[in-house]
């Protein structure tokens, strides 16, 4: 088996050390090993596969015990990462003179598991609204999570990653738990509010804050909570929401003779998309303040517009849609977390162990984001480029160590046995 890691990445250690995590020395080492291996391993990231990346490999059961029974708390690490991410991006914004406008983006996603998976506590059948149609609903055996990103200027950092469990799942799990171990049920809107409450004391006064989410989170309670903080909401709306007592799809139809506003939205990669927008103002049902609603189409002849809302009445359609496009950062997170960092590859069973695994993934991804912003260049254009650089650094350290050992021992079999972790060398010759 070809190993990959001689020692932990110095740059990863430089990122993790200032977090001052409340971990013992062995726990800290396991945290580093998991984070490093998640970046380097190119196979399915089971704990056994992660363990095989190291020359001096810890036992895979030690990694499992670190997640299952080791006495540390995921929320403590999550809080440390959140604080460090927010402090860093705000200090960078101040240094660069970026306008004091901050976007908080919220979204949820599913991590698909095999259909036969039954004994992982967080895995259940979820309705997949992305792949479902009106005539054919799609359900997946998966786990669900919420992700939150923070954007200031062109800088994006991930500040939270939390598991969501269905009420039915929580009831089933709590039947087998003692009183002090029971899991409280929290709806997605409640989780979103909890994320915002954790962020609130970290945000500076005098900044303009926009909280952005899709139509699934556009409840009157969450909208009113955001406005009580002095922040603004930009969100999607479903066609049957009522504005001034009328459904917004009916209002859109009544405005069909009004001129469109042509809006061009620039994506992070520089590509531009055109939208044709009409707008109106009014009050949503159970929301006690005036909002602006946008009816957006990709083409004037498109039959079904998308509906958006902003509580900032001073914003133009161009500003509102350009800002809302920043929610794509959540989709970028979902892509890399699942395909490169193995977010859905866990095999631990309990809810608490999965939560710990996810917070290690969050810490690893925070390292990637931070280093990407620091080293962005013609060679490092995407997060994938940065992950490849991290792997190349380990490959260089690995090859250098193998050559040095060969020079010292002049024994090729000893070198192969150490760096390939082969039990019997003669069988390969």
Check whether residue 176 and residue 44 sit in a common domain: no
Q: Please identify, among 323, 339, 355, the residue that sits at the C-terminal boundary of a domain.
A: 339
Per-residue confidence (pLDDT) for residue 334, from 0 to 100: 95
Q: Give all strands (DSSP E) within 221-332, no chain letters.
A: 232-237, 242-243, 246-247, 261-266, 272-282, 291-297, 306-310
Total count of residues recorded for the chain: 429
Q: Please identify, among 277, 312, 339, the residue that sits at the C-terminal boundary of a domain.
A: 339
Distance CA 284, CA 282 (A): 7
Check whether residue 108 and residue 140 sit in a common domain: yes
Residue 361 lies in a domain: no
Task: Give the rounded distance of the alpha carbon of 390 from its chain centre.
Answer: 20
Q: What range defines the domain where residue 270 resides?
A: 74-339
Residue 1 lies in a domain: no
Backbone angles phi, psi at 368, to 5 degrees: -65, -45
Q: What is the CATH number of the domain that holds 124?
A: 3.90.350.10
Residue 214 lies in a domain: yes
Distance CA 54, CA 135 (A): 50
Residue 346 lies in a domain: no
3-class SS of residue 256: coil
Check whether residue 319 and residue 214 sit in a common domain: yes
Residue 357 lies in a domain: no
Q: Please identify, among 339, 363, 394, the residue that sits at the C-terminal boundary of a domain.
A: 339
Check whether residue 254 and residue 381 sit in a common domain: no
Check whether residue 310 and residue 410 sit in a common domain: no
Check whether residue 280 and residue 206 sit in a common domain: yes
Check whether residue 204 and residue 323 sit in a common domain: yes
Residue 362 lies in a domain: no
Render each residue's pLDDT in the chain as its tens digit; 429 residues: 689 999 999 999 999 999 989 999 999 999 999 999 999 999 899 999 999 999 987 777 889 999 999 999 999 999 999 999 999 999 999 999 999 999 999 999 999 999 988 899 999 999 888 888 778 889 999 999 999 999 999 999 999 999 999 999 999 999 999 888 899 999 999 999 999 999 999 999 999 999 999 999 999 999 999 999 999 999 999 999 999 999 999 999 999 888 999 999 988 777 888 999 999 999 999 999 999 999 999 988 888 899 999 999 999 999 999 999 999 999 999 999 999 999 999 999 999 999 999 999 999 999 999 999 999 999 999 999 999 999 999 999 999 999 999 999 999 888 888 888 765 455 555
Per-residue confidence (pLDDT) for residue 429, from 0 to 100: 53
Residue 349 lies in a domain: no
Residue 426 lies in a domain: no
Check whether residue 204 and residue 258 sit in a common domain: yes
Check whether residue 316 and residue 224 sit in a common domain: yes
Distance CA 232, CA 255 (A): 26
Cβ 290 vs Cβ 282: under 8 Å: yes
Domain count, the chain: 2
Return the number of other C-beta atoms located less than 10 Å from residue 89's C-beta: 23
Residues 6+ apart with CB under 8 A from 369: 85, 156, 157, 158, 383
Check whether residue 145 and residue 158 sit in a common domain: yes
Per-residue confidence (pLDDT) for residue 417, from 0 to 100: 86
Check whether residue 131 and residue 269 sit in a common domain: yes
DSSP code at position 33: H
Check whether residue 33 and residue 152 sit in a common domain: no
């Amino acid at each position: 088996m070809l190993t990959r890691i001689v020692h932990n990445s110095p740059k990863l250690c430089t990122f993790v050390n200032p977090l001052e995590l409340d971990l013992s020395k062995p726990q800290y080492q396991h945290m580093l090993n998991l984070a490093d291996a998640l970046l380097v391993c190119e196979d399915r990231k089971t704990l056994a596969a992660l363990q095989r990346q190291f020359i001096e490999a810890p036992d895979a059961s030690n990694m499992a015990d670190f997640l299952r029974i080791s006495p540390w708390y995921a929320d403590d690490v999550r809080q440390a990462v959140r604080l460090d991410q927010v402090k860093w991006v705000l200090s960078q914004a101040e240094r660069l003179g970026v306008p004091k406008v901050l976007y908080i983006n919220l979204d949820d996603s599913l991590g698909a598991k095999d259909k036969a998976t039954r004994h992982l506590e967080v895995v259940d059948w979820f309705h997949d609204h992305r792949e479902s149609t009106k005539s054919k609903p799609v359900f997946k055996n998966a786990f669900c999570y919420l992700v939150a990103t923070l954007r200031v200027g062109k800088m994006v950092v991930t500040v939270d990653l939390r598991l969501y469990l269905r009420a039915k799942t929580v009831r089933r799990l709590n039947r087998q738990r003692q009183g002090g171990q029971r899991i409280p049920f929290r709806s997605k809107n409640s989780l979103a509010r909890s994320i915002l409450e954790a962020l609130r004391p970290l945000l500076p006064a005098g900044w303009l804050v926009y909280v952005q989410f899709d139509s699934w989170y556009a409840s009157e309670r969450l909208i009113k909570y955001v406005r009580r903080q002095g922040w603004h909401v930009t969100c999607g709306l479903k066609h049957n929401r009522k504005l001034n007592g009328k459904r917004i799809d009916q209002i859109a139809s009544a405005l069909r003779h009004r001129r469109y506003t042509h809006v061009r939205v620039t994506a992070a990669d520089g590509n531009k998309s055109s939208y044709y927008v009409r707008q109106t103002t009014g009050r949503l049902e159970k929301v006690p303040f005036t909002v602006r609603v946008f009816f957006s189409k990709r083409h004037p002849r498109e039959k079904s517009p998308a509906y958006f809302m902003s509580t900032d009445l001073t914003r133009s359609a161009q500003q509102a849609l350009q800002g809302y496009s920043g929610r794509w950062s959540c989709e970028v997170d979902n892509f890399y977390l699942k395909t490169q960092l193995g977010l859905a590859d866990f095999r631990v069973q309990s809810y608490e162990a999965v939560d710990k695994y996810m917070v290690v993934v969050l810490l690893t991804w925070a390292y990637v984001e931070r280093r990407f912003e620091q080293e962005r260049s013609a060679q490092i254009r995407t997060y994938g480029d940065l992950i490849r650089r991290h792997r190349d650094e380990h490959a260089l350290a690995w090859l250098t160590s193998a050559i040095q050992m060969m020079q010292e021992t002049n024994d090729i079999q000893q070198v192969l046995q150490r760096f390939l972790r082969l039990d019997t060398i003669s069988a390969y010759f």
